[in-house]
Chain A
Amino acid sequence: MKGLKLILVMILALLPVTLRAQELDMNEYLFGHVGDSYGWHVTTIKGHPVCIHLPVIVHSKATGWHVFSSKHIEEGEEYEGFRLAGEDEKHSGKLVEVTSLGIEKPLDISITKNVFGLFINSLIVLVVILLGARWYRKHDAREEAPGGFAGLVEMVVMMIEDDVIKPCVGHDYKRYSPYLLTAFFFIFINNLMGIIPFFPGGANITGNIAVTLCLALCTFLAVNLFGNRHYYKEIFWPDVPIFLKAFPLMPLIEIVGMFTKPFSLMVRLFANILAGHMMILGVLSVIFITASMGAVLNGSLTFIAVLFGVFMDVLECLVAFIQAYVFTMLSSVFIGLSRQEPEHE
Protein backbone atom coordinates (compact mmCIF):
# COMPACT_ATOMS: atom_id res chain seq x y z
CA MET A 1 0.00 0.00 0.00
CA LYS A 2 2.93 2.35 0.69
CA GLY A 3 4.13 1.76 -2.87
CA LEU A 4 0.72 2.58 -4.27
CA LYS A 5 0.58 5.80 -2.35
CA LEU A 6 4.08 6.66 -3.56
CA ILE A 7 3.10 6.10 -7.18
CA LEU A 8 0.01 8.24 -6.77
CA VAL A 9 2.03 11.00 -5.18
CA MET A 10 4.53 10.84 -8.03
CA ILE A 11 1.77 11.09 -10.60
CA LEU A 12 0.33 14.04 -8.77
CA ALA A 13 3.75 15.67 -8.57
CA LEU A 14 4.04 15.55 -12.33
CA LEU A 15 0.92 17.68 -12.73
CA PRO A 16 1.75 21.29 -13.67
CA VAL A 17 -0.21 22.85 -10.84
CA THR A 18 0.07 22.34 -7.14
CA LEU A 19 -2.91 20.63 -5.65
CA ARG A 20 -4.36 22.52 -2.75
CA ALA A 21 -5.69 20.52 0.15
CA GLN A 22 -9.20 21.91 0.01
CA GLU A 23 -9.53 21.08 -3.67
CA LEU A 24 -9.03 17.36 -3.49
CA ASP A 25 -7.38 15.32 -0.80
CA MET A 26 -6.25 12.42 -2.95
CA ASN A 27 -5.51 10.21 0.02
CA GLU A 28 -8.88 10.70 1.64
CA TYR A 29 -10.64 10.51 -1.71
CA LEU A 30 -9.15 7.13 -2.63
CA PHE A 31 -9.05 5.43 0.74
CA GLY A 32 -12.34 6.93 1.84
CA HIS A 33 -14.00 5.25 -1.09
CA VAL A 34 -12.42 1.83 -0.88
CA GLY A 35 -12.10 1.66 2.89
CA ASP A 36 -14.51 1.12 5.73
CA SER A 37 -16.15 3.79 7.85
CA TYR A 38 -18.53 4.12 10.78
CA GLY A 39 -21.18 6.02 8.82
CA TRP A 40 -22.26 5.63 5.21
CA HIS A 41 -21.61 8.86 3.38
CA VAL A 42 -24.09 8.75 0.50
CA THR A 43 -23.56 12.14 -1.12
CA THR A 44 -23.18 15.83 -0.35
CA ILE A 45 -25.98 18.24 -1.24
CA LYS A 46 -25.12 21.97 -1.10
CA GLY A 47 -22.26 21.41 1.30
CA HIS A 48 -24.27 19.26 3.68
CA PRO A 49 -23.21 15.64 3.73
CA VAL A 50 -26.04 13.14 3.40
CA CYS A 51 -24.96 10.34 5.67
CA ILE A 52 -26.54 7.14 6.92
CA HIS A 53 -25.65 6.83 10.59
CA LEU A 54 -24.89 3.29 11.63
CA PRO A 55 -24.75 1.86 15.13
CA VAL A 56 -21.39 1.73 16.84
CA ILE A 57 -20.98 -1.29 19.12
CA VAL A 58 -17.88 -1.35 21.29
CA HIS A 59 -16.81 -3.15 24.41
CA SER A 60 -14.46 -1.39 26.74
CA LYS A 61 -12.52 -3.29 29.37
CA ALA A 62 -13.27 -0.61 31.90
CA THR A 63 -16.86 0.42 31.18
CA GLY A 64 -18.37 -2.54 29.35
CA TRP A 65 -20.64 -2.41 26.30
CA HIS A 66 -21.47 0.85 24.53
CA VAL A 67 -23.95 1.19 21.69
CA PHE A 68 -24.53 4.57 20.06
CA SER A 69 -25.09 6.15 16.70
CA SER A 70 -22.10 7.06 14.55
CA LYS A 71 -23.31 10.66 14.25
CA HIS A 72 -21.86 11.45 17.69
CA ILE A 73 -18.32 10.73 16.56
CA GLU A 74 -18.54 12.01 13.02
CA GLU A 75 -16.34 15.07 13.32
CA GLY A 76 -13.78 13.55 15.66
CA GLU A 77 -15.53 14.64 18.84
CA GLU A 78 -15.53 12.51 21.95
CA TYR A 79 -18.63 10.57 23.00
CA GLU A 80 -18.97 8.31 26.05
CA GLY A 81 -15.18 8.31 26.21
CA PHE A 82 -14.71 7.23 22.61
CA ARG A 83 -13.48 9.13 19.60
CA LEU A 84 -12.01 8.47 16.16
CA ALA A 85 -8.24 8.30 16.20
CA GLY A 86 -6.57 11.03 14.20
CA GLU A 87 -4.37 10.49 11.17
CA ASP A 88 -1.06 10.70 12.98
CA GLU A 89 -2.16 8.65 15.99
CA LYS A 90 -2.08 4.90 16.54
CA HIS A 91 -5.14 3.00 15.18
CA SER A 92 -5.73 5.78 12.69
CA GLY A 93 -9.36 6.00 11.54
CA LYS A 94 -10.54 3.53 14.17
CA LEU A 95 -12.59 4.17 17.23
CA VAL A 96 -10.42 4.46 20.35
CA GLU A 97 -11.19 4.84 24.01
CA VAL A 98 -9.69 7.80 25.78
CA THR A 99 -8.36 6.73 29.16
CA SER A 100 -6.09 8.28 31.72
CA LEU A 101 -3.20 6.28 30.25
CA GLY A 102 -3.76 7.63 26.74
CA ILE A 103 -5.77 5.97 24.01
CA GLU A 104 -6.74 2.31 23.93
CA LYS A 105 -8.45 0.21 21.30
CA PRO A 106 -11.72 -1.36 22.48
CA LEU A 107 -13.33 -4.53 21.16
CA ASP A 108 -15.14 -3.10 18.17
CA ILE A 109 -18.01 -4.92 16.45
CA SER A 110 -19.72 -1.83 15.07
CA ILE A 111 -22.11 -2.08 12.16
CA THR A 112 -19.81 -0.24 9.79
CA LYS A 113 -20.44 0.68 6.18
CA ASN A 114 -19.08 -2.66 5.00
CA VAL A 115 -21.08 -4.65 7.55
CA PHE A 116 -24.22 -2.80 6.53
CA GLY A 117 -23.38 -3.44 2.90
CA LEU A 118 -22.87 -7.11 3.76
CA PHE A 119 -26.34 -7.23 5.30
CA ILE A 120 -27.92 -5.69 2.21
CA ASN A 121 -26.02 -7.83 -0.28
CA SER A 122 -26.59 -11.06 1.65
CA LEU A 123 -30.27 -10.23 1.72
CA ILE A 124 -30.15 -9.80 -2.05
CA VAL A 125 -28.40 -13.17 -2.45
CA LEU A 126 -31.00 -14.77 -0.20
CA VAL A 127 -33.90 -13.22 -2.10
CA VAL A 128 -32.44 -14.13 -5.49
CA ILE A 129 -31.90 -17.79 -4.62
CA LEU A 130 -35.10 -18.25 -2.64
CA LEU A 131 -37.15 -16.63 -5.40
CA GLY A 132 -35.52 -19.06 -7.80
CA ALA A 133 -36.23 -21.98 -5.46
CA ARG A 134 -39.83 -20.86 -4.81
CA TRP A 135 -40.80 -21.61 -8.38
CA TYR A 136 -40.07 -25.31 -7.81
CA ARG A 137 -42.39 -25.47 -4.83
CA LYS A 138 -45.29 -24.29 -6.97
CA HIS A 139 -44.53 -26.26 -10.10
CA ASP A 140 -43.68 -29.81 -10.96
CA ALA A 141 -40.20 -29.45 -12.34
CA ARG A 142 -40.49 -32.79 -14.08
CA GLU A 143 -43.31 -31.50 -16.24
CA GLU A 144 -42.07 -28.02 -17.12
CA ALA A 145 -38.96 -25.87 -17.12
CA PRO A 146 -38.88 -22.48 -15.44
CA GLY A 147 -38.72 -19.31 -17.48
CA GLY A 148 -38.00 -15.74 -16.55
CA PHE A 149 -36.24 -15.10 -13.28
CA ALA A 150 -36.33 -18.66 -11.96
CA GLY A 151 -34.95 -19.80 -15.31
CA LEU A 152 -32.09 -17.34 -15.03
CA VAL A 153 -31.25 -18.48 -11.51
CA GLU A 154 -31.45 -22.10 -12.56
CA MET A 155 -29.22 -21.45 -15.54
CA VAL A 156 -26.48 -19.82 -13.45
CA VAL A 157 -26.74 -22.41 -10.67
CA MET A 158 -26.54 -25.30 -13.10
CA MET A 159 -23.75 -23.67 -15.06
CA ILE A 160 -21.64 -23.44 -11.90
CA GLU A 161 -22.60 -26.90 -10.71
CA ASP A 162 -22.20 -28.71 -14.03
CA ASP A 163 -19.21 -26.86 -15.45
CA VAL A 164 -17.23 -26.09 -12.31
CA ILE A 165 -18.19 -28.12 -9.27
CA LYS A 166 -18.94 -31.50 -10.85
CA PRO A 167 -15.73 -31.89 -12.88
CA CYS A 168 -13.47 -30.29 -10.25
CA VAL A 169 -14.70 -31.94 -7.05
CA GLY A 170 -15.44 -35.40 -8.41
CA HIS A 171 -17.93 -38.05 -7.44
CA ASP A 172 -19.19 -36.69 -4.09
CA TYR A 173 -19.66 -33.15 -5.36
CA LYS A 174 -23.20 -32.96 -3.96
CA ARG A 175 -21.82 -32.58 -0.45
CA TYR A 176 -19.85 -29.47 -1.36
CA SER A 177 -22.03 -27.84 -3.97
CA PRO A 178 -24.17 -25.83 -1.48
CA TYR A 179 -21.06 -24.20 -0.01
CA LEU A 180 -19.45 -23.56 -3.38
CA LEU A 181 -22.66 -22.16 -4.87
CA THR A 182 -23.16 -19.94 -1.82
CA ALA A 183 -19.60 -18.67 -2.18
CA PHE A 184 -20.11 -18.01 -5.88
CA PHE A 185 -23.34 -16.09 -5.50
CA PHE A 186 -22.09 -14.24 -2.44
CA ILE A 187 -18.93 -13.07 -4.21
CA PHE A 188 -20.71 -12.34 -7.49
CA ILE A 189 -23.48 -10.22 -5.94
CA ASN A 190 -21.04 -8.39 -3.68
CA ASN A 191 -18.74 -7.67 -6.62
CA LEU A 192 -21.61 -6.31 -8.70
CA MET A 193 -22.96 -4.22 -5.83
CA GLY A 194 -19.47 -2.82 -5.35
CA ILE A 195 -19.50 -1.46 -8.89
CA ILE A 196 -22.76 0.43 -8.38
CA PRO A 197 -21.50 3.87 -7.34
CA PHE A 198 -24.32 4.93 -5.00
CA PHE A 199 -26.28 3.55 -2.06
CA PRO A 200 -27.08 0.66 -1.55
CA GLY A 201 -24.10 -0.35 -3.65
CA GLY A 202 -20.66 1.13 -3.54
CA ALA A 203 -19.38 -0.55 -0.41
CA ASN A 204 -16.07 -2.19 -1.23
CA ILE A 205 -16.88 -5.53 0.38
CA THR A 206 -15.10 -8.22 -1.60
CA GLY A 207 -12.19 -5.79 -1.87
CA ASN A 208 -11.82 -5.98 1.89
CA ILE A 209 -9.30 -8.41 3.29
CA ALA A 210 -11.46 -9.44 6.25
CA VAL A 211 -14.22 -10.66 3.93
CA THR A 212 -11.92 -12.58 1.63
CA LEU A 213 -10.11 -13.95 4.68
CA CYS A 214 -13.35 -15.40 5.95
CA LEU A 215 -14.16 -16.94 2.56
CA ALA A 216 -10.68 -18.39 2.21
CA LEU A 217 -10.94 -19.78 5.73
CA CYS A 218 -14.17 -21.55 4.79
CA THR A 219 -12.47 -23.16 1.82
CA PHE A 220 -9.50 -24.07 4.02
CA LEU A 221 -11.86 -25.82 6.44
CA ALA A 222 -13.77 -27.53 3.64
CA VAL A 223 -10.51 -28.85 2.22
CA ASN A 224 -8.79 -29.94 5.41
CA LEU A 225 -11.67 -31.11 7.59
CA PHE A 226 -12.93 -33.57 4.99
CA GLY A 227 -9.63 -34.53 3.40
CA ASN A 228 -9.26 -38.29 3.07
CA ARG A 229 -6.40 -40.52 4.18
CA HIS A 230 -4.68 -40.32 0.83
CA TYR A 231 -4.61 -36.52 1.05
CA TYR A 232 -2.94 -36.52 4.46
CA LYS A 233 -0.57 -39.29 3.48
CA GLU A 234 0.51 -37.17 0.52
CA ILE A 235 1.22 -34.30 2.89
CA PHE A 236 3.07 -36.10 5.66
CA TRP A 237 4.55 -39.10 3.87
CA PRO A 238 4.55 -38.40 0.12
CA ASP A 239 5.83 -40.78 -2.55
CA VAL A 240 9.34 -39.36 -2.78
CA PRO A 241 12.82 -40.74 -2.08
CA ILE A 242 13.35 -41.39 1.61
CA PHE A 243 15.99 -38.67 2.11
CA LEU A 244 13.41 -36.05 1.21
CA LYS A 245 11.13 -37.37 3.97
CA ALA A 246 13.64 -38.24 6.67
CA PHE A 247 14.76 -34.65 6.74
CA PRO A 248 11.15 -33.43 6.37
CA LEU A 249 11.63 -31.23 3.35
CA MET A 250 8.65 -32.45 1.33
CA PRO A 251 6.21 -32.55 4.27
CA LEU A 252 7.30 -29.03 5.12
CA ILE A 253 6.61 -27.84 1.58
CA GLU A 254 3.26 -29.65 1.56
CA ILE A 255 2.23 -28.09 4.88
CA VAL A 256 3.16 -24.65 3.64
CA GLY A 257 1.14 -25.48 0.53
CA MET A 258 -1.90 -26.21 2.68
CA PHE A 259 -1.88 -22.58 3.76
CA THR A 260 -0.71 -20.88 0.59
CA LYS A 261 -3.67 -22.23 -1.38
CA PRO A 262 -6.38 -20.43 0.62
CA PHE A 263 -4.02 -17.51 1.09
CA SER A 264 -3.79 -17.08 -2.65
CA LEU A 265 -7.59 -17.25 -2.86
CA MET A 266 -7.86 -14.51 -0.27
CA VAL A 267 -5.33 -12.18 -1.87
CA ARG A 268 -6.51 -12.79 -5.44
CA LEU A 269 -10.09 -11.75 -4.80
CA PHE A 270 -9.14 -8.88 -2.51
CA ALA A 271 -6.49 -7.45 -4.82
CA ASN A 272 -8.53 -7.77 -8.01
CA ILE A 273 -11.57 -6.01 -6.65
CA LEU A 274 -9.60 -3.37 -4.78
CA ALA A 275 -7.45 -2.65 -7.83
CA GLY A 276 -10.54 -2.32 -10.00
CA HIS A 277 -12.09 0.20 -7.63
CA MET A 278 -8.82 2.10 -7.38
CA MET A 279 -8.54 2.26 -11.17
CA ILE A 280 -12.04 3.65 -11.60
CA LEU A 281 -11.50 6.17 -8.82
CA GLY A 282 -8.15 7.15 -10.27
CA VAL A 283 -9.59 7.70 -13.73
CA LEU A 284 -12.45 9.78 -12.38
CA SER A 285 -10.19 11.82 -10.10
CA VAL A 286 -8.70 13.34 -13.25
CA ILE A 287 -11.94 15.33 -13.63
CA PHE A 288 -11.63 16.91 -10.20
CA ILE A 289 -7.87 17.43 -10.36
CA THR A 290 -8.13 19.36 -13.61
CA ALA A 291 -11.12 21.41 -12.46
CA SER A 292 -8.92 24.41 -11.73
CA MET A 293 -6.94 24.24 -14.98
CA GLY A 294 -9.36 25.95 -17.28
CA ALA A 295 -12.37 24.87 -19.24
CA VAL A 296 -10.60 23.47 -22.31
CA LEU A 297 -8.20 21.17 -20.47
CA ASN A 298 -10.83 20.16 -17.94
CA GLY A 299 -13.44 19.52 -20.62
CA SER A 300 -11.23 17.41 -22.84
CA LEU A 301 -9.81 15.43 -19.93
CA THR A 302 -13.32 14.94 -18.53
CA PHE A 303 -14.34 13.47 -21.85
CA ILE A 304 -11.39 11.08 -21.82
CA ALA A 305 -11.98 10.23 -18.15
CA VAL A 306 -15.62 9.40 -18.72
CA LEU A 307 -14.66 7.27 -21.70
CA PHE A 308 -12.11 5.39 -19.62
CA GLY A 309 -14.55 5.23 -16.73
CA VAL A 310 -17.11 3.47 -18.92
CA PHE A 311 -14.44 1.11 -20.17
CA MET A 312 -13.30 0.35 -16.62
CA ASP A 313 -16.86 -0.20 -15.41
CA VAL A 314 -17.54 -2.68 -18.19
CA LEU A 315 -14.26 -4.39 -17.43
CA GLU A 316 -15.18 -4.54 -13.76
CA CYS A 317 -18.48 -6.23 -14.60
CA LEU A 318 -16.43 -8.89 -16.34
CA VAL A 319 -13.99 -9.10 -13.44
CA ALA A 320 -16.89 -9.36 -10.98
CA PHE A 321 -17.99 -12.55 -12.69
CA ILE A 322 -14.54 -13.91 -13.40
CA GLN A 323 -13.34 -13.51 -9.82
CA ALA A 324 -16.43 -15.21 -8.41
CA TYR A 325 -15.98 -17.98 -10.99
CA VAL A 326 -12.27 -18.36 -10.28
CA PHE A 327 -12.77 -18.46 -6.53
CA THR A 328 -15.42 -21.16 -6.90
CA MET A 329 -13.37 -23.12 -9.40
CA LEU A 330 -10.15 -23.08 -7.36
CA SER A 331 -12.04 -23.97 -4.18
CA SER A 332 -13.57 -26.89 -6.08
CA VAL A 333 -10.16 -27.96 -7.35
CA PHE A 334 -8.63 -27.82 -3.85
CA ILE A 335 -11.54 -29.79 -2.42
CA GLY A 336 -11.28 -32.24 -5.30
CA LEU A 337 -7.59 -32.77 -4.58
CA SER A 338 -8.33 -33.49 -0.94
CA ARG A 339 -10.91 -36.12 -1.95
CA GLN A 340 -8.79 -37.85 -4.57
CA GLU A 341 -8.55 -41.61 -4.29
CA PRO A 342 -5.08 -43.12 -4.69
CA GLU A 343 -4.31 -44.42 -8.14
CA HIS A 344 -4.17 -48.18 -8.33
CA GLU A 345 -0.86 -49.46 -9.53
Chain B
Amino acid sequence: MSLITPDFGLLFWMTLIFVILFFILAKVGFPVITGMVSQRQDRINDSIRLAKEAEERVRELSSEQARMIEEARKEQAAILRDAASARDAMVSRAQEQAREEAAKIIEQARIQIAAEKETALRDIRREVASLSVSIAEQVVRKDLSDNEAQMALIDRLMDEMSSTKMN
Protein backbone atom coordinates (compact mmCIF):
# COMPACT_ATOMS: atom_id res chain seq x y z
CA MET B 1 0.00 0.00 0.00
CA SER B 2 1.35 3.35 -0.96
CA LEU B 3 2.60 5.62 1.79
CA ILE B 4 1.45 9.02 0.65
CA THR B 5 -2.00 8.30 -0.75
CA PRO B 6 -4.55 8.11 2.04
CA ASP B 7 -6.35 4.79 2.05
CA PHE B 8 -10.13 5.11 2.09
CA GLY B 9 -10.78 2.21 4.48
CA LEU B 10 -8.36 3.52 7.06
CA LEU B 11 -9.68 7.06 6.69
CA PHE B 12 -13.20 5.79 7.25
CA TRP B 13 -12.32 3.83 10.38
CA MET B 14 -10.05 6.57 11.69
CA THR B 15 -12.81 9.17 11.36
CA LEU B 16 -15.32 6.87 13.03
CA ILE B 17 -13.00 5.92 15.89
CA PHE B 18 -11.74 9.43 16.46
CA VAL B 19 -15.20 10.98 16.48
CA ILE B 20 -16.50 8.34 18.93
CA LEU B 21 -13.41 8.74 21.09
CA PHE B 22 -13.81 12.51 21.03
CA PHE B 23 -17.47 12.41 22.04
CA ILE B 24 -16.89 9.97 24.89
CA LEU B 25 -13.91 11.89 26.24
CA ALA B 26 -15.57 15.27 25.76
CA LYS B 27 -18.59 14.04 27.67
CA VAL B 28 -17.15 12.06 30.58
CA GLY B 29 -13.38 12.43 30.37
CA PHE B 30 -11.67 15.78 30.18
CA PRO B 31 -14.38 18.11 31.50
CA VAL B 32 -14.52 16.05 34.70
CA ILE B 33 -10.79 16.40 35.26
CA THR B 34 -10.42 20.04 34.22
CA GLY B 35 -13.64 21.06 36.01
CA MET B 36 -12.59 19.44 39.26
CA VAL B 37 -9.11 20.90 39.02
CA SER B 38 -10.49 24.39 38.48
CA GLN B 39 -12.86 23.88 41.43
CA ARG B 40 -9.92 22.86 43.55
CA GLN B 41 -7.98 25.85 42.29
CA ASP B 42 -10.82 28.15 43.32
CA ARG B 43 -10.91 26.54 46.72
CA ILE B 44 -7.17 26.91 47.19
CA ASN B 45 -7.37 30.55 46.16
CA ASP B 46 -10.26 31.07 48.60
CA SER B 47 -8.30 29.39 51.37
CA ILE B 48 -5.28 31.54 50.73
CA ARG B 49 -7.44 34.67 50.76
CA LEU B 50 -9.08 33.61 54.01
CA ALA B 51 -5.72 32.84 55.58
CA LYS B 52 -4.50 36.26 54.55
CA GLU B 53 -7.55 37.90 56.08
CA ALA B 54 -7.11 35.92 59.29
CA GLU B 55 -3.49 36.98 59.42
CA GLU B 56 -4.59 40.58 58.95
CA ARG B 57 -7.07 40.18 61.79
CA VAL B 58 -4.45 38.69 64.06
CA ARG B 59 -2.13 41.57 63.28
CA GLU B 60 -4.90 44.04 64.05
CA LEU B 61 -5.75 42.26 67.27
CA SER B 62 -2.17 42.18 68.42
CA SER B 63 -1.76 45.90 67.78
CA GLU B 64 -5.03 46.45 69.66
CA GLN B 65 -3.68 44.38 72.51
CA ALA B 66 -0.45 46.33 72.61
CA ARG B 67 -2.45 49.53 72.68
CA MET B 68 -4.58 48.26 75.55
CA ILE B 69 -1.55 47.20 77.56
CA GLU B 70 -0.02 50.61 77.01
CA GLU B 71 -3.23 52.27 78.20
CA ALA B 72 -3.43 50.07 81.27
CA ARG B 73 0.12 50.88 82.12
CA LYS B 74 -0.55 54.60 81.85
CA GLU B 75 -3.62 54.26 84.01
CA GLN B 76 -1.66 52.32 86.59
CA ALA B 77 0.98 55.01 86.69
CA ALA B 78 -1.69 57.69 87.12
CA ILE B 79 -3.35 55.77 89.94
CA LEU B 80 -0.06 55.29 91.70
CA ARG B 81 0.74 58.95 91.39
CA ASP B 82 -2.68 59.93 92.75
CA ALA B 83 -2.33 57.53 95.64
CA ALA B 84 1.06 58.92 96.54
CA SER B 85 -0.17 62.49 96.54
CA ALA B 86 -3.27 61.56 98.57
CA ARG B 87 -1.10 59.80 101.11
CA ASP B 88 1.19 62.79 101.37
CA ALA B 89 -1.77 65.11 101.82
CA MET B 90 -3.29 62.87 104.42
CA VAL B 91 -0.08 62.58 106.40
CA SER B 92 0.54 66.31 106.38
CA ARG B 93 -3.04 66.99 107.44
CA ALA B 94 -2.71 64.51 110.27
CA GLN B 95 0.51 66.08 111.37
CA GLU B 96 -1.11 69.49 111.33
CA GLN B 97 -4.02 68.23 113.37
CA ALA B 98 -1.74 66.54 115.84
CA ARG B 99 0.26 69.67 116.24
CA GLU B 100 -2.85 71.75 116.85
CA GLU B 101 -4.17 69.20 119.30
CA ALA B 102 -0.90 69.12 121.19
CA ALA B 103 -0.81 72.90 121.36
CA LYS B 104 -4.37 72.93 122.72
CA ILE B 105 -3.57 70.32 125.35
CA ILE B 106 -0.47 72.18 126.43
CA GLU B 107 -2.47 75.39 126.68
CA GLN B 108 -5.09 73.74 128.83
CA ALA B 109 -2.40 72.19 131.00
CA ARG B 110 -0.82 75.56 131.46
CA ILE B 111 -4.12 77.17 132.44
CA GLN B 112 -4.82 74.36 134.83
CA ILE B 113 -1.38 74.63 136.36
CA ALA B 114 -1.83 78.32 136.81
CA ALA B 115 -5.17 77.77 138.49
CA GLU B 116 -3.69 75.07 140.74
CA LYS B 117 -0.91 77.36 141.68
CA GLU B 118 -3.37 80.12 142.56
CA THR B 119 -5.37 77.78 144.73
CA ALA B 120 -2.22 76.51 146.44
CA LEU B 121 -1.04 80.01 147.14
CA ARG B 122 -4.42 80.94 148.57
CA ASP B 123 -4.36 77.88 150.78
CA ILE B 124 -0.89 78.69 152.01
CA ARG B 125 -1.88 82.20 152.73
CA ARG B 126 -4.90 81.04 154.64
CA GLU B 127 -2.76 78.54 156.59
CA VAL B 128 -0.19 81.16 157.40
CA ALA B 129 -2.89 83.51 158.57
CA SER B 130 -4.49 80.89 160.79
CA LEU B 131 -1.08 79.88 162.18
CA SER B 132 -0.30 83.45 162.90
CA VAL B 133 -3.65 83.82 164.59
CA SER B 134 -3.15 80.68 166.74
CA ILE B 135 0.35 81.67 167.62
CA ALA B 136 -0.86 85.06 168.54
CA GLU B 137 -3.59 83.47 170.63
CA GLN B 138 -1.14 81.31 172.53
CA VAL B 139 1.17 84.18 173.05
CA VAL B 140 -1.64 86.31 174.28
CA ARG B 141 -3.12 83.52 176.53
CA LYS B 142 0.16 82.94 178.48
CA ASP B 143 1.11 85.37 181.15
CA LEU B 144 3.52 87.45 179.71
CA SER B 145 5.46 87.96 182.98
CA ASP B 146 8.81 88.69 181.92
CA ASN B 147 10.45 89.54 178.78
CA GLU B 148 12.79 86.69 178.81
CA ALA B 149 10.14 84.19 179.10
CA GLN B 150 8.19 85.92 176.46
CA MET B 151 11.05 85.82 174.07
CA ALA B 152 11.79 82.21 174.69
CA LEU B 153 8.25 81.36 174.04
CA ILE B 154 8.17 83.23 170.78
CA ASP B 155 11.30 81.43 169.63
CA ARG B 156 9.91 78.09 170.47
CA LEU B 157 6.68 78.85 168.74
CA MET B 158 8.53 80.04 165.77
CA ASP B 159 10.53 76.83 165.64
CA GLU B 160 7.44 74.75 165.90
CA MET B 161 5.78 76.73 163.21
CA SER B 162 8.70 76.48 160.90
CA SER B 163 9.03 72.73 161.54
CA THR B 164 5.37 72.17 160.83
CA LYS B 165 5.77 74.33 157.84
CA MET B 166 8.69 72.24 156.81
CA ASN B 167 6.58 69.21 157.05
**Residues on A facing B (Cβ under 8 Å):** 1, 31, 34-37, 57, 92-94, 107-112, 114-115, 118-119, 122, 125-126, 129-130, 132-133, 136-137, 141-142, 145, 153-154, 157-158, 161, 174, 177-179, 181-182, 185-186, 208-211, 213-215, 218, 274
Contact check: which of B8, B15, B34, B43 meets A107 at CB < 8 Å?
B8
Contact check: which of B3, B7, B26 meets A179 at CB < 8 Å?
B26
Does B40 sit at the interface, judged by CB under 8 A? yes
User: Known: A93-B1, A118-B17, A130-B28. Is A208-B39 also a contact (CB below 8 A)?
Assistant: no
- Which residues on the A side are within 8 Å of B166 (C-beta)? none
Task: Tell me the chain B residues, 9-27 only, with Cβ under 8 Å from chain A.
Answer: 9-15, 17-18, 20-22, 24-26
Beyond A31-B3, A118-B17, A182-B21: 9 further Cβ-contacts under 8 Å?
A109-B12, A115-B14, A126-B25, A141-B40, A142-B39, A145-B40, A158-B34, A182-B26, A209-B3
Check A209 against B6 for contact (C-beta < 8 Å).
Answer: yes
Check B30 against A182 for contact (C-beta < 8 Å).
Answer: yes
- Which residues on the B side are within 8 Å of A154 (C-beta)? 33, 37
Interface of A is mostly: helix
A181 CA to B22 CA, complexed, in Å: 9
Q: How far is the CB of A218 from chain B (nearest CB, A)?
A: 7
Check A130 against B39 for contact (C-beta < 8 Å).
Answer: no
Check A161 against B34 for contact (C-beta < 8 Å).
Answer: yes
Interface of B is mostly: helix
**Residues on B facing A (Cβ under 8 Å):** 1-15, 17-18, 20-22, 24-26, 28-34, 36-37, 39-40, 43
CB-CB nearest in chain B for A108? B9
Check B12 against A218 for contact (C-beta < 8 Å).
Answer: no
For this complex, 10 residue pairs linking A to B, each with C-beta atoms less than 8 Å apart, are A31-B3, A37-B1, A109-B9, A109-B12, A122-B18, A141-B36, A178-B31, A209-B3, A209-B4, A214-B14
A110 CA to B8 CA, complexed, in Å: 10
Check A109 against B8 for contact (C-beta < 8 Å).
Answer: yes
User: Known: A108-B8, A115-B13, A214-B14. Is A133-B33 also a contact (CB below 8 A)?
Assistant: yes
A214 CA to B11 CA, complexed, in Å: 7
CB-CB nearest in chain B for A266? B6
Q: How far is the CB of B26 from chain A (nearest CB, A)?
A: 4
CB-CB nearest in chain B for A209? B6
A126 CA to B22 CA, complexed, in Å: 10
Check A136 against B6 for contact (C-beta < 8 Å).
Answer: no
- Which residues on the A side are within 8 Å of B39 (C-beta)? 141-142
- Which residues on the B side are within 8 Å of A208 (C-beta)? 7, 10
- Which residues on the B side are within 8 Å of A115 (C-beta)? 9-10, 13-14
Q: How far is the CB of B57 from chain A (nearest CB, A)?
A: 24
User: Known: A136-B36, A145-B40. Is A210-B7 also a contact (CB below 8 A)?
Assistant: yes
Check A213 against B11 for contact (C-beta < 8 Å).
Answer: yes
A114 CA to B10 CA, complexed, in Å: 7
- Which residues on the B side are within 8 Å of A109 (C-beta)? 8-9, 12-13
User: Known: A36-B10, A213-B11. Is A178-B1 also a contact (CB below 8 A)?
Assistant: no
